[in-house]
Amino acid sequence: MPLDTSLEGARFLDRNDDLGGYRDRFLIDDPDLIYLDGNSLGRVPKDAIALMDRLIRHQWGNRLIRAWNDEWMGLSRRIGSKLAGLIGARPDEVIIADSTSVNLFKLIAGALKERPGRRKIITDSVNFPSDIYILKAVADMIDPAYELVVLPADNGFAVSEESLERSIDEDTALVLLSHVLYKSSYLYDMERITQIAHARDALILWDLSHSAGVVPMTCHDTGVDLAVGSTYKYLNAGPGAPAFLYVRDDLQSRLINPISGWFGHRKQFYFDTEFEPAYGIDRYLTGTPSILSLAMIEPGVDLALEAGMEPIREKSVNQTEYLVSLWENELAPLGFTLNSPRNPARRGSHVSFGHEEGYRIDQAIREEKQVISDFRTPDNIRLGIAPLYTTYEELHTAVHALREVVHTGSFRQYSDVIKGVT
Ligand SMILES: Cc1ncc(COP(=O)(O)O)c(C=O)c1O
């Protein structure tokens, strides 16, 4: 049956949405704002507001330094073990620490040291730039003889499994890929690619920044070696909240943390001058965590655990499918291309529409229509779907806003010089 893409149809879908009630668990103080950038910065869970107040008044305000022993010392581990439930990891395989970029540094260095003698490192050209920069920097620092292979996207949006299979060989130490690609939303087959890497005994490190909280996965059972990811996108932890890292349990005693700070020490408060790594996942901590930001991760993780990853994914797929149908009817005739996979099984939770005037169009819908999407060079307007609060009506309105600013030509008044955060 063709999808009803009318406004009434959108409202019908919202009324019948099993996850619809979760929207009310987020702070939405401007009902007219259409927010489709939860793939970059998620909305505020209401529980985070009360928690921040308690944290400041009671823990920091009243308990002061005592709060470290009461609550804060175990927080990176406690929240990590909850987050593990969202990525199919064991509770002792995940910890919250640092930023995604810093965690990449730590795990890349650890992985390269774990595969001495192998000279090849593989990633793709559509990976997030920070991942590629850090990969290169760490490889150069450890041994300039490493060969960094940045595979070009050859299946439209990502690297095909065939080229990965051809490139990963017995000399490959590490493969680093983003599970969902930040521009195209292409969703790699984690199981298949992990198998390909393991068939050559290479380690694999997945960046889960655009999949954690929207795509179910089974990191441990799939045999994933290493992973990192951000918490401020679909996990709604707040701007710059610390990231998470996963190291499969049997690797933890073998993989060093190259930033061996005192929080990763086995007996931190003995103040020994010799570094002895903590047992297990704690060894990947470095220095004092940003407690206020770290604590804000828990409300968003709790919401996702409560809603369940399968229902979240089901709604995400339904909504990206809906958006693709709207594109076909409303946007393709105006020159917008679909820069994301058509197959929902290979698509994450955002959809990118291409248009040569994408940057100006993105500004126009923000300024004139109160629709917030984002822009990624060269031509991608990304619409992010956060199933816990995105409505079908928002998607409908956003597509009509895109249509209108192109139809009237109002986007032409905006500059095409990229400025600030896009
Ligand atoms: C896929 C991916 N990896 C890494 C990063 C870098 O994260 P951070 O700036 O928190 O280190 C981002 C940031 O958006 C990202 O999207």
Backbone φ and ψ for 246, nearest 5 degrees, come out as -125, 130
pTM score, two decimals? 0.97
Structure tokens at 25: 């668990």
Residues paired with residue 229 on neighbouring β-strands, in sequence order: 244
Structure tokens at 44: 């505020």
Spatial distance between the Cα atoms of 208 and 217, rounded to a whole number of angstroms: 10
Alpha-carbon distances, residue 87 vs 218, 232, 248, 293, 374 (angstroms): 6, 16, 12, 21, 26
Place of tokens 């009318």: 6
Q: Residue 8 Cα, ligand 1 centroid: separation in angstroms?
A: 37
Q: Residue 251 Cα, ligand 1 centroid: separation in angstroms?
A: 24
| Model pLDDT, residue 1 | 58
| Model pLDDT, residue 130 | 97
Task: Please report, as a single letter, which amino acid is at residue 331.
Answer: L
Spot the catalytic one: 188, 232, 244, 353: 232
* Cβ proximity of 345 and 339 under 8 Å: no
Spot the catalytic one: 283, 313, 360, 382: 382
Spatial distance between the Cα atoms of 322 and 320, rounded to a whole number of angstroms: 5
Judge whether 369 counts as a catalytic residue.
no
Alpha carbon nearest to ligand 1 atom 14, residue: 40
Q: Residue 267 Cα, ligand 1 centroid: separation in angstroms?
A: 32
Q: Number of H helices and number of E strands within the chain? A: 14, 13
| Model pLDDT, residue 155 | 81
Place of tokens 């017995």: 170
Please choose from 177, 207, 209, 352 the residue to mutate so as to test ligand 1's pocket, defined by most ligand atoms within 8 A of CB.
209
Residues paired with residue 45 on neighbouring β-strands, in sequence order: 26
| Model pLDDT, residue 191 | 98
Spatial distance between the Cα atoms of 82 and 410, rounded to a whole number of angstroms: 47
CB atoms within 10 A of CB 235: 29
Please choose from 39, 98, 101 the residue to mutate so as to test ligand 1's pocket, defined by most ligand atoms within 8 A of CB.
101
pLDDT tens per residue across all 422 residues of the chain: 567 889 999 999 999 999 999 999 999 999 999 999 999 999 999 999 999 999 999 999 999 999 999 999 999 999 999 999 999 999 999 999 999 999 999 999 999 999 999 999 999 999 999 999 999 999 999 999 999 999 999 888 999 999 999 999 999 999 999 999 999 999 999 999 999 999 999 999 999 999 999 999 999 999 999 999 999 999 999 999 999 999 999 999 999 999 999 999 999 999 999 999 999 999 999 999 999 999 999 999 999 999 999 999 999 999 999 999 999 999 999 999 999 999 999 999 999 999 999 999 999 999 999 999 999 999 999 999 999 999 999 999 999 999 999 999 999 999 888 888 88
Judge whether 232 counts as a catalytic residue.
yes
Judge whether 382 counts as a catalytic residue.
yes
